[in-house]
Amino acid sequence: MRRISLKRLSLSLLLAFALLIGVSISAVSKDKVIVYTATGVDITGPIFEAFTVDTGITVEHIMAGTGEVWSRVRAEKKRPLGDILWAGSNKMAEAAKPEDLFEVYHSPEDKYYRVKDADGIWHAFGIPGGVQSFAVNTNLVAREDYPESYRDLADIKYDGMIALLNPTYSGTGYITAQAMIHLAETQWGYEDGWDFLKELMMNCKIYVSSGAARNALRDGEIAIGLQGEAGAGKIMKDGYPLELLRLKEGYFGGLDAIEIIKGGPNLEGAKKFVDWFLGQKAQQMLADLKGDRCIREGITLSEDLYTYGFGDDYIYVDIPDYLFEEPDQFKKKWNRVMGEAVVLKEARNTAYDVIEYVRRLIARAKSKEMTVGIEEAESKLAEAEATFKDGKYEEARTLGKEALELGGALRKP
């Protein structure tokens, strides 16, 4: 009988095992796609289930904040573990093109979309949850105190009343911050929109997720917060005291997009997912489940967008692509400016208290027909108020104290 060497047998077994493992991995990867998403399971669950029913391909998903899943894709660039990124806007993906994170793919469904990427990197599909505006809890803000402009939100009368999302974690927060910078520089006369954003930050409580901010607004923990039409509509349908603000500049939100992660484990499965996701069935599901303003032809929008939202009567604020370049630098600057806002807020509030105190004293003196020094005090107070509006809080505080001296008031702050 011919003898087989142990070494040769071992090598043969190892090769056979390796082939078996390879076949197994190949089979598994073809039957599964891995999706990184920032969308909640109440939406993704039905979408993924329908995809599996229609294609036989299962979906494994990893959910986290937009900033977190984008960071994951970047960290895994040399060895991608995901197939699809469903998080963030087309502008974020456009700005990331130089990083070479995503696969080029021109879907046959692209022709049905009003907005498409000529390079085939991102696939925009709709404004998530409708356009974004700020909403008020009507139990906490009187109608006569509603802001009429986004700029009004920086008024000190809204101190501590507003929810703002941290763009480090939230894609919606990222778009909101960029929108405020854009409006400040193009409509409100700011040379640097970050100066307005700092003013706004002084009035805000910062949240890391849209859900947490939405719940705080619903439950009356804060009075004003960013809301999409669909989310606000759901809260109102549930009987909570909420109203979307019709702000004069219009509304924003960015277009949600999906991308195929370059070098992911299942390219063919990812292409099938993109084709199915961009199809009529999936997009109608998103419109029905989430209230998206889908941009595919032939989609019926949710009635809630007309009952509780803005219907077809709204101005859409388009944010320039260049603002989405260098997201890491943007987030670092956000954190720095947020720290500056905390320090500046103390100076602002102190100056405001002095000015208000002087204003009350002057009013009381005039009611008692006291005239000595009042005219000079009013003039100095007007100077203090103008300086305050310019953001020169220490100087405004000093002018307020000078007005107090001119008025001969006995009580001093």
| pLDDT of 14 strictly over 80 | no
Q: 78-120, pLDDT tens digit by residue?
A: 999 999 999 999 999 999 999 999 999 999 999 999 999 999 9
* Mean pLDDT across 194-207: 97
- When mean pLDDT is compared across 23-27, 63-67, 310-314, the lowest value belongs to 23-27
Least confident of 35-39, 60-64, 169-173, 379-383: 169-173
How high is the pLDDT of residue 12? 47
Q: Is the pLDDT of residue 70 over 80?
A: yes
Question: Residue 413: what pLDDT?
Answer: 42
From 140, 114, 357, select the one nearest 365 (Cα to Cα). 357
Tokens encoding 387? 């300086």
DSSP symbols for 178-206: HHHHHHHHHTS--SSHHHHHHHHHTTEEE
Sign of CA dihedral 130, 131, 137, 138: negative
Q: What are the percentages of helix, strand and coil residues in the chain, rounded to 5?
A: 55, 15, 35
Confidence of residue 260 (pLDDT cuts 50, 70, 90): very high
In whole angstroms, give the CA distance from residue 411 to residue 413.
7
**Helix or strand run (H / E) with residue 230:** helix 229-237
Average pLDDT, integer, range 304-321: 88
Tell me the pLDDT band of 43, cut-offs 50, 70 and 90. very high
